[in-house]
Amino acid sequence: MNTKKRLIIAMTGATGAIYGVRMLQILQTLPDWESHLVISSAGLVNLKYELEMDKAELYALADVTHGINDIASPIASGSFKTEGVVVAPCSMKTLAAIAHGFGDNLISRSADVALKERRKTVLIPRETPLNLAHIRNMAAVTEMGGIIYPPMPAFYNKTDSMRAMVDEGVGRILDMYGISVEGLYKPWTGLGNNEI
C-alpha cells in the first residue's frame, strides 16, 4: 500500500518553468512525498527555452509522470487520493480553463478534481499587466477555494538572486501543504524595534 503523500505538479506555458522544476527538486528530497508531474506542450517549449531542459530531464525529477492528454490517468479522478495540485507556472489560458471548470486536458482536469474534492489548489499565475478576464478568473478560482500565488518577490529580503526569489515562493507554497524545508526562505521576524 502506498503510504506516501501525493502532490501534483502541473507546468504550463507561462514563463517561470523554474517554479515547477524547483518544486520537483525539493519533493525529490522528501521520502514521505510522491510527486506527480504533468506538463503541457507549451510548458515543454518554455522549459527548453528558459532552462535548456528537455522532457526526459524534467521527467527524471518526478516520481510519476502523466501525459497532458491522458484523461484516463489516475489524477483525473477524485478517487485517487492526493494532497492537491500546484500549477507552477500557470498560464492565463490554463487559469481560464480552471476558473470555468473546463477540463480539456489533464492539467485543467486535475485542478478541477482538486477543487471539487476541496483539496489544496495553488496557482502560480504569471502575466503582467492583467486584463479584466485574468482578474475575474483569479477571483473565480479564489471563490472555489483555490489559492492564487503570483510569483512576486518579498523585496524586504533584499536579494538580487533569482534563485532566492523563486525559492522564497516555492518554500512558502510548500509550507501550505505542511512541507517545511529549512533554508528555502527566511520568515519575516520583525524589525526588533518596539518604539515604532
Ligand X SMILES: Cc1cc2nc3c(=O)[nH]c(=O)nc-3n(C[C@H](O)[C@H](O)[C@H](O)COP(=O)(O)O)c2cc1C
Cβ proximity of 51 and 132 under 8 Å = no
- What residues from 139 to 168 belong to the interface with ligand X (CB under 6 A)? none
User: 3-class SS at 68?
Assistant: coil
Minimum CB distance to ligand X, residue 50 (Å)? 7
Q: Which span (75-83, 91-99, 140-148, 150-158) binds ligand X, by CB under 6 A?
A: 91-99
Q: Please give the radius of gyration of the chain, using alpha carbons only, rounded to the nearest integer.
A: 17
Strand (E) or helix (H) holding 118: none
The reply on whether position 109 binds ligand X by CB under 6 A is no
Non-local CB neighbours of 158 within 8 Å, separated by 6+ positions: none
Residues β-bridged to residue 7? 35
CB-nearer residue toward ligand X: 117 or 127: 127
The reply on whether position 123 binds ligand X by CB under 6 A is no
User: 3-class SS at 5?
Assistant: strand
Q: Which span (9-17, 76-84, 146-154, 186-194) binds ligand X, by CB under 6 A?
A: 9-17
The reply on whether position 130 binds ligand X by CB under 6 A is no
Place of cell 477540463: 103
Give the largest CA-CA distance in the chain: 60
Closest Cα to residue 32, out of 60, 5, 65? 5
Determine the Cα–Cα distance for residues 174 and 166; give it in Å rounded to an integer.
12
Instruction: Give the residue closest to ligand X by C-beta.
Output: 13
Minimum CB distance to ligand X, residue 77 (Å)? 21
CB-nearer residue toward ligand X: 45 or 152: 45
CB-nearer residue toward ligand X: 62 or 95: 95
The reply on whether position 137 binds ligand X by CB under 6 A is no
* DSSP label at residue 40: -
The reply on whether position 94 binds ligand X by CB under 6 A is yes
The reply on whether position 92 binds ligand X by CB under 6 A is yes
- What residues from 39 to 58 belong to the interface with ligand X (CB under 6 A)? 40, 42-43, 45-46, 49
**Residues at the contact surface with ligand X, assessed by CB under 6 A:** 12-15, 40, 42-43, 45-46, 49, 91-94, 126-127
